[in-house]
Amino acid sequence: MTNLQEAKLAREAEICYATMAMVTDYDCWHEGHDAVTVDQVVAVLHQNSANAAMAVRAAVAALPRDRTCACATALKFAILTSPEAIPTATRTKLDLLLGKYTS
């Protein structure tokens, strides 16, 4: 599956974004692996869930307090409309995302 839309929306919202993918089995394409049962897939799925939770906890704990990444200012040069030309209602609606650039 693709994460293209989520990645684009996260970038637009200046949110750092990463994809974590975990495999449950290889039997559908890898000839060297035997067929697996639903119980085996579910067991691996539960272990992956625990691993993902640990990875997210570690990643969040490692986040810097101040963001200096490119994601933090991704919209800085993306707004081509002059701030004065943006209607007040639109500016109010988009203030959460664009306020630091249109004020």
> Annotated active-site positions, please?
25, 27
Nearest to 23 by CA among 41, 36, 4: 41
Are 14 and 73 in contact by the 8 Å Cβ rule? The answer is yes
Count of alpha carbons within 13 angstroms of residue 42, beta-carbon side: 3
